[in-house]
Amino acid sequence: MLRIGAVSYLNTKPLIYGLRERLESNQSGVCGQLSLNLPSRLATQLRVGELDVALIPSVEYFRGQSDYQIVSDAAIACRGPVWSVRLLSRVPVRKIKRLALDEGSRTSVALTKVLLWEMYALRPETVPLTMEQTPEAVDADAVLVIGDRAMHPEPGVYSEIWDLGDRWCRWSELPFVFAMWVARRGVDIDRLAELLQQSRDEGVANLESIAGQYAAPHGLTNEDLHHYFADNLHYHLGPREQSGLELFRSRCSHLGLIADETTAAGAENE
């Protein structure tokens, strides 16, 4: 039985549409269990062998690339503004000296560092923003927030707000890939790609229904959430997404983010 982990945020709902039921019913000969967690925690679980397959941040795929294999062309990407990944700055961005980073996604952390360096040659001091802290309460010039809480920043607090998907796409002229389905090498993934792509395709075909189910609990209108799914996000890992992924890997490597963060993550888990 495959142990499969997926991101618990709204953006993954179309990707895992009916997936739990398909796995439990042994559809297409694939039997497994689905669990939900934060992106960074999924990456740790995959690395230590607590999961066989996971929807992990792209930067975590880079860090374990020799031990991992991409399972499917189902992914979480954007080709412009993404809405749910934002840099909120109390000062003009070029003047940021202290940056608080949301602990939920290491890819968004790396993306922020890459863009600040590429656009302004900035490498500010960083501090963590925990899930228990509000962005307004943290002592920093700017805050990276992701997921549901990035969608509604406190009005009147920030000098600049960057949508990081939009900033990347404008700078690189390529899509950005936030996460993809990855398996540890040696795991039997026969027929799994088909199952994951089937869930993605049916989820994309039922965006209105998914929006109706999840909008109100997250303080969104059905229309807003449907717009987020249909227009802000892109769920296919195609050739241009792969080019964007490779450029991101190159820039992360250039800044030492892949090796540095691997070492730090290992220390945290000892």
List, for residues 7-30, the tens digit of each pLDDT value.
Answer: 888 999 999 999 999 998 876 788
Where do the structural domains in the chain lie, given as residue ranges?
Answer: 2-77+177-239, 85-172
Mean pLDDT of 123-135: 89
One-letter amino acid of 198: Q
Instruction: Give the pLDDT of residue 246.
Output: 97
Q: What is the pTM of this model?
A: 0.90
The segment with the largest mean pLDDT, out of 2-11, 150-159, 235-244, is 235-244
Q: Which residues make Cβ contacts (< 8 Å) with residue 191, sequence separation at least 6?
A: 28, 29, 30
Q: Could you give the strand order of the β-sheet that contains 2-7, starting from the edge strand earlier in sequence?
A: 32-37, 2-7, 53-57, 176-184, 68-78, 234-236
List, for residues 90-111, the tens digit of each pLDDT value.
Answer: 999 999 999 999 876 788 999 9
CA distance 246 to 8: 26
Same fold, 2-77+177-239 and 85-172: yes
Of 260 and 240, the structure prediction assigns the larger pLDDT to: 240
Domain 2-77+177-239 bears CATH identifier 2.60.120.620: no
Average pLDDT, the chain: 90
85-172 fold? D-Maltodextrin-Binding Protein; domain 2 (3.40.190)
Q: Among 33-47, 158-172, 202-216, where is mean pLDDT lowest?
A: 33-47
**SS3 per residue for 28-49:** HHCCEEEEEECHHHHHHHHHCC
